[in-house]
Structures are given as structure tokens and as C-alpha cells.
Structure 1
Amino acid sequence: DTVFTNIGSSTYTLKVYNRSDKNISIPSLRLKDGTASKYRLMVDGMAGQVFENVEILAKDSMYIFVSVTAEVADANPTDFLYTDKILFGDETNPNHQKVELVTLIQDAYFIYPGRVQNPDETYTYDELNLGVDGDGNPISIRGRFLEETHPANGNELHWNNTKPYVVYGYAAVPSNKTLVVDAGARIHFHAESGLIVANNASIQVNGSPSTTEALENEVIFEGDRLEPDFSEVPGQWGTIWFSQGSTNNQIKNLTVKNATVGFLVTGNDGTSTPTLDLENTQFYNCSNVGILARTGNIVGNNVVINNCGQASFAGSFGGSYEFIHSTFANYWSSSNQTVILLDDYDGSSIYALNKADFKNCIIYGSANLSINLKKEGTTFNYSFDHCLIKFADYSNQFTNNPLYNFSNSSLFNNCLIARNSTNNNPDFKDARNNELIIGEDSAAKGTADFNFSSGTFDILNNSRTNPSDIGAYNWTTFD
């Protein structure tokens, strides 16, 4: 396992068998370091570190549950490994057996709300005020504002790559401040935690292209469960929330994994310039939506989204959006999800869809229909230019719907429409495992509009040449 300093691990299971025809008694079952060990055992329902005369019936077995809470100071200073052994019998007995225990301890910056103990031994935690609900009742969430001179973490408005950050509750960027995130930073969010960018606040994620599989220059936002079994589990934490009035948010080379909603964008800063500018940004395994924008103002280049429970991108309540050379996929394991959702809510002018332009984009998934357009008002502006779109309307229910008139070049200019699973296939390497690079047989190969490609690089920092490929990746030959 890998754990953060002084944070408890998951509980691991060890099963011990007696394969003989006779009952046996293990005279000693213990951790080598005994009661000084940072590991904890539970043997046959009893907790401890040293056990004597443990019986196992013939042809039977028992469970041992193992967990650990250790500090980085407890680990070997050269490799940060904390180790111990479970010993079955005395080590001097040639028939003794052992199980090695090894845990990597990671030091981290911890960001969490303060708390005050109440007389009844409960706690009152710091909270962030989010306004009022429809009945005038205050809305709050557990969290606190980041500080420039925090006594333990120093300048919390500058996240560096010297060690990971672990966030409990919601951390908030104060108004008129900017959170700067360095290349290579690793940010981990606990359950029901996230980040809020307040009114007039900004975030700048300064990731850069990596040269190794370690993604040494990528910035990664993910959960705080470090076990391999949790590496792709959706919905482990909350969201990155760009609240109404946040401004000048610049995101480069960021991967967001396993959130409920990757980015929640509620409103814009009221200017004509984008509130949120995305470049080489990836979203995977969001239990609800990858990017949920409500009256947002977003531009994106080389954006990749996949495996989201409801939609990969939802431009809801209108707004203004432009994406170039992006790959929107959705291989969530149900048939109810979509890839792109656009709506203008009730059609009021404040919810107008002023622009939703997709250029050289792949929009594809496991469901039949990859775009979902819901128009209520008069201003509903969208266009797909040189895009590959899956739209398998087997029941012909949208044949006469003008929103999906793929012959209308003002809405769908030179688009490739995949009307079944084999026609105009993007040939992803392994879409269900978030490998969305396209292969030599991809319909997206060489079919982009080079006017949108000239002088640009794909998400892997490869130069785009003419003819260029639709989507965030240049095509490649798979191993």
C-alpha cells in the first residue's frame, strides 16, 4: 500500500489455511515489532499485535485483517518504506512462516477546515458561505479559504511539486487572489472535498508536456485513496467549482480523475473574454459530468473527456463555448449517458446559447446518440465543423428534427456521422480504459480542417502536419 503520513490505510485481508487433516494451534502469531508496530491486526475478530495459541480446525481457514497508520518519520529515510512482518511461530523454529508487510509513506501538505470542540464532545468546523437558497436560508459547506501565510503550509496560494497536497473539505481561492499550481504538482481530494474559485478569484495551472510515463510535468487532481484498486473508481471526491464571477482561469496540462463533477462552471465573469481557458486538459471517470457549465464562457484546445455517468460535456443554461481539436468520448457502462449536451434551460434571454462551436472534434461513445440538443428559446447558436460524431438514430425519431439536420452545412460542416458502430469509427486504442489515441484505421485520420491545425501540437506534444487528424491526438500505430 501507499499512504499519506499519519493517515490510516485501507484494511487488507490475509487468509490463512490449515490444509492438514488435523486441528492445529499456532503457538505465536505476532508482528515482529510487537506492540511498537504501526501495523494493526485483527485475528478471528480480536484486535492486537501479539496473539498466542491461535487454533485452526482441520481443512479450515481464518482471516487476518491488516491496516497501518504511520508517519513519514517512521519510515526508512532513504526510500520512505515502513516495514514489518507477521510471524507464525518463533523465528528460531525452522518451520516458522512469515508474511512481509511493506508500506510507502508519503509526506504531504494537508489543507483542512479548522474545528472547535463543543461541550458535548462534538466539533464545529469552519464553513464557507455559499449564499442563500430559494427560501432565504443560508447555504454553507465545510471548508476554508486558502491562506498566504499558513503556519504549517506556508503560501497556500502557490501549490508546488515538492510533495503532494491533500484537501479535506473545500479549499477556496479568496476574491482578488490567484491560486498558482506548478508543473508536476499532485493534488488529492478526500471524499466530499474539492476546490472553489470565488468571485473575482482565479486559478492558473501551469502543467507542461511530460517526456516519460511518470507524467512528471502533468498536474493531476484525483482522490486520496492511493491503492491500485481505487485508481479508476469514479466519484471519490467532489468538484473544482468555478463560481459566478471567477475570472481569467488558465489551465494547461491537467488531468482530473475520479471526481463527481470534474469542473463545475456556474456563470461567467461578464466579459467577452473566456472565463475558463483549457489547453491539454483531460477528465476521466466522473460519476456525473466531466465539465458541467451553466451559462459558462469556455474555450478549449486538446480537451479529452471520457467515462462520465451522465455527460462528458454539458453546456447547460446557455453560455459561450468553443472547442478545437478535442476528443469527447463516453464509454460509461450504461446506455443512458450522452457525450455532448447543449440546452438553454427555459429559453429566457439570460440563458441564451450564444455560441457552441466544435472544430476538428471527435464526439463518440458507447451509446447510440452522442449529442443531445434541447432548444427552448430563439438564440441557440451551435456548429460542428469537421467533426466525427456518432449518431445512430436506429428508430429514425430525429429524421425531421432540424436541430439534427446533418445536411445543413451551417450547423454540420464537413462532418463525419457514424450511423452505426462500424461506420466512421474513430479506432480508439482502448476507450473503456481511457486510451483515446486513434489508430491507422480511424475515420478521423487525415480528415481535419488544417486551417484549425496549422502551427499546433496534439495533446502528446506532437506537431500537426497536413493532412491533420480530427481530435486531440495524432494517429499512431498501436503496439
Structure 2
Amino acid sequence: MRNFIILLFIGISISLSSCRQDFVFEASTGDLTFSKDTIYLDTVFTNIGSSTYTLKVYNRSNKDIKIPLIKLGKDDSKYRITVDGMTGENNHTFRDVEMLAKDSMYIFVEVTADVADSNPADFIYTDQIQFDTGTNFQKVDLVTLIQDAYFIYPSRTQNPDNSYTYEEINLGVDADGNPIPFRASVLDENDPVNGNEFIWNNSKPYVIYGYAVVPDGKTLNIEPGAQIHFHADSGLIVGTGGTLKSIGTLQNQIVFEGDRLEPIFSDVPGQWGTIWLTAGSTANEIDYTTIKNATVGLLIDSNDGNFMTIKNTQIYDSSNLGIYAKTAKIKGENIVINTAGVASLACTLGGSYEFKHCTFNNNWSSSKQVAVLLDNYYRDENNAQVPFDLIQADFINCIIYGSNTYELRFDKGETGIFNSSFTKCLVKFGTSNDALYSFIYDENNIKRNKNPKFLNIFTNQLNIGVDSEAKEFGVDADVPLDILGMPRTAPYDVGAYNWVTFPEDN
């Protein structure tokens, strides 16, 4: 019996070994196929790395093959590639790459280039991924647009341990009395590279690293058509006594957004910090300006006692708040805010506010977000309420809407003034026995839970159409043009847009 078992194992071993064949790779004859013949890498700023792009390579033959050489065409190429997870020689050259029959592999592509590397006529930078078999030649073209820019960033000094110390400013102290530092660059009238940094023009975009700071007594004038891009954890701070004038036109809007230009980043919230108008900043004006993809679009912190104006301004996809006002004074007209993690508009710690023909919508995917929040106190370290008078919060011809049952929230303190008024507004609001919300049931003045039927909330098109409940419900609020520059005539529409006929209505 023992001999039989031994013979059985020997037989099985021989049987298995007779089925095994070593892989034999033949040289490729150049019959590879590709997922695309040209890879267009989206626009990047000079010397800022791109996203990673993918090329899939197929061996559709019945043979295991070996590709003698895969490489970038230029010896000093600014592109980088990895092939099936391999980095090769300097992310540039790969030799004897094996592929099984009917198999595929991934090549990942990135680029970091200077505008000087591109074609001076069109700022296009190109190269190729080359597949050289010795008997045939195949290629995939690489194309990207390199965009020049003004760069504003903190200075740095190198320490003995090769670390760096960056330029910083302190904005107050925390609850423990420790300074609050920000990595920042104070703007300069005579910067050796950018020239006068208190005038941002439209000749080329601005890219900000850290926070750009407008100091006391200085005014930052942003000209129509200027494009401002913030890196992660960056933003703009207007200090005490400083002023922001962001005044575009209907045809040449000013745009603040992140520095990732690829379409997949176009509506990603929280890509940068905020535009912070600190306590004591003065005479700020914002008109025909778009603010996208911030953590907080506008942080307005107890301005100097005079009303600031915000007109014809759009704020989209903020991960926290669209406008975060603290004891501020704001007059707003034709403001559109869509989608924020907490609130589209938060008027906190009291203040004075007047909003006419504004559209505040919030479809953030949570059960707690709101379109508009008002409060008049905060709690100190002992959890005691500290009142801040809400002198006025007047909403005239406004839309307050979103995906939750309650898109308007009041947080009224035990003491302190809390004055608010809503005239001819469309408001998303459930039911409440709180007398503070009694006005919401006046059907002659408030349209409650009526759908404005926006064109497309997911693409930030909050225009209204012929069947919108916001159509012809308003009053004359002395705002003669809508956000698109169209005349307002009686009967007046509610929100920032006059109603129009949508294409699908024709």
C-alpha cells in the first residue's frame, strides 16, 4: 500500500509538469493598439504640475510579446510617465516591457513645464510616447497648454537643517492667548517681478500661494476680466484699514477660484481658503465677481461701521459657507449663492443687512444645511450667551430655497435685538409654532414651499423660467437691472434673474 501511494504522487507530479509551459515572449512587431492616439492634458500654469492622465495599451494578438523600447520623444521632456507601475529610467525610458497575449497595460502621464518650454505662438507644449520595436514605430501624441501667470507667494529663508521658514503674519490670538499665524505675502507696490501688486489686471492670471495681504491704508484694485487662482490653503486677506475693490463688468467678470484648471475640478468645493475682509477693513466693493470652490467664499468680519456693497456677484460650491458675515454691514443686490456645506448665507453675531433681488439656494447633501442663517449672539467659555444686536436683516424680492424642509433658520438669543423682515420672498420652510416665524404664513407676502424651478442647480444655473413660482411676485425694489443686465419692469420677478423662456419650452 505504501508503494502504491508513492507511485500515485509520482504520477500526479509527472502529469502536472507535463501541462506546464514557460512563457515565451516574442519581440513586438508593432501591432499595439491604444485607448487614444492623442492625450490632451488640460491647461496648466507654468511650473505647476498637472493631474495624472491615463493611456491604455492593448496587445490584441495571441502571442506574449516584449516591447524593446518605450520612451518619451524628447530627451529633456517635461512630461513624466510610468508604465504598469514602473518608473523606468527617470520616468522617461522603459526597456523590454513584457505583455501577455490578449492583455493590456496602463501608462500614466503627468507634466510640469514652464511657459518658456512651449511654442511661443500658441503656448502649446508637445511630445510623444514612442513605442519602438526595431522593425516598426508607433506613437501617442501628448499635448498641453502652458499658461503664464503672475505668482504671489510668501518669501522663505533656508535654515541650517535645510528646512524653511516662511513669511507669516499674525491675525489676533486664539482662546489661549497664542498668536494665530498665517503663511502670507504682504502686497508690494514695487515688487521686483510683479510690479505694483495693488493692481490686479487681466493681462494674465494671478496664482496665489498662502494668503495675499492688503495692509492698512492700501487698496487692492482688481480690474474687469481678472482671473485669480488660489492654491490649496490660500486666499486673500484685507487687513484693518485696507480696502478691496473687486469691480468687474457684465462682459468682463472677475473670477476667484482654485488653481486646478482641469474640468473635473470645476465644481469641487473647498479647494482654497477664503476672501477675508477683516475687522476694520473699509469701503470694500464687490461687483460682477464670481467666487468658486472656496471653503468660505466671503468672510466679512465686523467691517468699519459703514455698509459695504456686494452686487451682481455669484458664489458657488463652498465647502463651508458662501458668505459668512460677523457683525457686518452689507447691502447686497443681485447676489446668487448656490451650494455650501453649512449655509449659503450666514449673518451672525448681529449686524445690519439689506438684500434685494438675491437668490440663496443650498442643495448640499446633508440634513443640516440651510440657505440662510441669522443669529445675534455667541456663547463664551462658560457657555453663557453674549448678545450682538441684529439691527436689521431685510430681504426684499429674494429666493431662499434648497433641498431641506427648512432653508431659513433663526437663532435668536435670550437678549439683544433681533430685527428681520421679508418682503415678497419665496422661502422653503416647513411648519413651526414659533412666533418668530409667523410672518412665513402671510401668503400675500411670502410664497412658502413654492418651487422656483431653477434651470439647473447642478451646473449653477439658477435662472427661472415661465412656470417658476418666483415669476411676477415681487415689488419695485429700486434695482433696475437683473444680474444679466436685463431691465426689470412690472410685474417684478423674485430673485436675481428675470424669467426667460428656457430652450425646452420652445
Partner of 1:373: 410
Give how far 1:432 is off.
2.1
Aligned match of 1:229 in 254, 264, 282?
A: 264
Distance (Å, rounded) in 1 between the aligned partners of 2:221 and 2:470: 36
Partner of 2:255: 220
Distance (Å, rounded) in 2 between the aligned partners of 1:105 and 1:42: 22
Letter in 2 for 1:268: N
Letter in 1 for 2:84: D
Give how far 1:92 is off.
7.4
Partner of 1:195: 236
1:401 and 2:434 aligned: yes
Between Structure 1 and Structure 2, whose CA radius of gyration is higher? 2
Partner of 1:303: 335
TM-score (normalised: structure 2): 0.87
Distance (Å, rounded) in 2 between the aligned partners of 1:330 and 1:92: 61
1:414 and 2:445 aligned: yes
Aligned match of 2:140 in 92, 99, 103?
A: 99
2:448 aligned counterpart, secondary structure: strand
TM-superposition CA deviations, 1:267-295 (whole Å, max 9, x none): 120x3x30x21010010000000001111
Aligned match of 2:393 in 322, 341, 356?
A: 356
Give how far 1:175 is off.
0.4
1:295 aligned counterpart, secondary structure: strand
2:272 aligned counterpart, secondary structure: coil
Q: 1:197 to 1:429 in 2, by over 3 A?
A: same
Q: 1:87 to 1:309 in 2, by over 3 A?
A: same
Aligned match of 2:111 in 45, 68, 78?
A: 68
2:279 aligned counterpart, secondary structure: coil
TM-score (normalised: structure 1): 0.92
2:436 aligned counterpart, secondary structure: helix
CA RMSD of aligned residues (A): 1.6
Contact map agreement 2:68 2:96 (CA 8 A) in 1: yes
Give how far 1:36 is off.
1.5
TM-superposition CA deviations, 1:59-88 (whole Å, max 9, x none): 322221111111111111111110111112
Distance (Å, rounded) in 1 between the aligned partners of 2:264 and 2:201: 27
Distance (Å, rounded) in 1 between the aligned partners of 2:140 and 2:430: 54
Letter in 1 for 2:439: F
Letter in 2 for 1:392: G
Q: How does 1:17-56 map to 2 (within 5 A)?
A: 17-33=58-74, 35-47=75-87, 48-56=91-99
Q: 1:473 to 1:91 in 2, by over 3 A?
A: farther
1:127 and 2:168 aligned: yes
Contact map agreement 2:378 2:386 (CA 8 A) in 1: no
2:294 aligned counterpart, secondary structure: coil
Aligned match of 1:427 in 425, 443, 453?
A: 453
Partner of 1:282: 314
Distance (Å, rounded) in 2 between the aligned partners of 1:78 and 1:61: 38
Give how far 1:90 is off.
5.7
Q: Mean Cα displacement is larger for which, 47-56 or 429-438?
A: 47-56
1:335 and 2:367 aligned: yes
1:478 and 2:502 aligned: yes
Letter in 1 for 2:435: P
1:260 aligned counterpart, secondary structure: strand
Contact map agreement 2:229 2:257 (CA 8 A) in 1: yes
Partner of 2:12: none
Aligned match of 2:486 in 462, 468, 476?
A: 462
- Structure 1: gaps spanning 5 or more residues: 211-216, 419-423
Partner of 1:15: 56
Distance (Å, rounded) in 2 between the aligned partners of 1:478 and 1:413: 28
Q: 1:135 to 1:66 in 2, by over 3 A?
A: same
1:440 and 2:466 aligned: yes
Distance (Å, rounded) in 1 between the aligned partners of 2:367 and 2:290: 25
Distance (Å, rounded) in 1 between the aligned partners of 2:344 and 2:332: 14
Contact map agreement 2:336 2:359 (CA 8 A) in 1: yes
1:77 and 2:120 aligned: yes
1:262 and 2:293 aligned: no
Letter in 2 for 1:100: D
1:238 aligned counterpart, secondary structure: strand
Distance (Å, rounded) in 2 between the aligned partners of 1:260 and 1:135: 25
1:436 aligned counterpart, secondary structure: strand
Distance (Å, rounded) in 2 between the aligned partners of 1:115 and 1:43: 37
Give the aligned length. 453
2:116 aligned counterpart, secondary structure: helix
1:248 and 2:283 aligned: yes
Letter in 2 for 1:358: F
1:382 and 2:409 aligned: no
Contact map agreement 1:338 1:369 (CA 8 A) in 2: yes
TM-superposition CA deviations, 1:322-363 (whole Å, max 9, x none): 100000001112232100000112497761111100000011
Distance (Å, rounded) in 1 between the aligned partners of 2:175 and 2:386: 21
Structure 1 ranges of 4+ moved more than 3 A: 346-350
Distance (Å, rounded) in 2 between the aligned partners of 1:334 and 1:141: 31
Contact map agreement 2:377 2:387 (CA 8 A) in 1: no
